[in-house]
Amino acid sequence: MAGCLLVVPQTPASPTTTETPASYTTPTPIDPAWSPPPVESSAPTLPSIADVVEEVYPSVVTISTEVVTLDFFLRPQTQTGAGSGWIIDGNGIIATNNHVVEGAKKVTVKLADGRTFQAGPDNVYRDPWTDLAVIEIDATDLPAASLGDSTQLRVGDWVVAIGNPLGHGLRAKEGTISGLKVSIPVGQGQTLDDLIEVSAAINPGNSGGPLANMRGQVVGITSAKIAAVGVEGMGYAISTKIAKPIIEQLITRGYVVRPYLGIQLYTVDEYVAAVNHLPVDKGAVITYMTPGSPADKAGLKELDIIVRFQDEEITTAEELIQAIHSSQVGEEVKITFVRGEETKTTHARLIQSPPPGK
């Protein structure tokens, strides 16, 4: 019968013996007194996600925006967008992402209790470099969220992302932390650093919403998701360690102060060098320079390629921007650049970055 063990009769063997063959050696036991560990009859239970949502939910807001763009025939048209935010101060201050409100002519904030407030461009304060922004609305006695210490997070910790996915209203989604101190590029010369990678589902509209720990404290601001075929569960949040000082400056100054050289940059690689007939294939090329800026006063020109900053090699625009931001206002810096076939050196004194729009 198929699938059965077939026993084949064999020629009777010689009588068995109880004697141990000469070649056999009795193994030495590892630990004769060893016994297996006891089986645990119970496991710790997870804290209730519902308790976290109940704590944070009243502080979360949905954000709707209107942006005026030009259509194919250069006619103005209004596009709408959706995002999330959370109340960081009860006197009407909302934290969110820059990309949620960037370019918006009208911002509508809807609270969890159903009330709505309007905010114009003058009530929106942004920092594109860190993708953070705050919105001021005319309201008081709002339920502000509690801040948590993102430096205490561990891979594997449970977190909850609350936001406005796909513009469908406030939703909560749980997940775990899968990575810490993550950096991802989000644009030419721009990288978001110290991100929290989470497995919670992140969708368009979640941006700007809070990422909460199991104590109901905000430990991150949902910011980005890697969208690619075969990629699942890789969402990112800006840690409160990075966000807190930026938000503080946006509230107290209206913008973030950084060292300023006064140039716009593009990364030079082999392709860019070949297409533009550049003399080097790595560095940061100046695409625009503000008149009267430290770069202008130092004799730099557009299309100069900066290859060293303070004697440190520069291979990308991002590296140069990071190096500038790591310097001090008032510091004199050494810049090595390539112009044509010549390599030159100059010095510039960094100043305080001007307010946006100036």
Question: Which of the residues are catalytic?
Answer: 99, 131, 207
Q: Which helix (H) or strand (E) holds 237?
A: strand 235-239
Token pair, residue 58, equals 């009243």
Q: Determine the number of helices (DSSP H) and then strands (DSSP E) in the chain.
A: 6, 22
Q: Widest CA span of the chain, in angstroms?
A: 106
For tokens 């996915």, name the residue: 165
CB 156 within 8 A of CB 176: yes
Beta-bridged to residue 312, according to DSSP, are 309
Query: Reduced to 3 states, what is the DSSP secondary structure of residue 336?
Result: strand
Nearest CA to 160 out of 219, 242, 233, 95 is that of 219
Phi and psi, residue 183, nearest 5°: -120, 135
Distance CA 301, CA 283 (A): 15
Token pair, residue 121, equals 């461009």
CB 61 within 8 A of CB 171: no
CB 239 within 8 A of CB 224: no
DSSP sequence for 184-215: EEEETTEEEEEEEEE-S---TT-TT-EEE-TT
Distance CA 111, CA 57 (A): 10
CB 297 within 8 A of CB 281: no
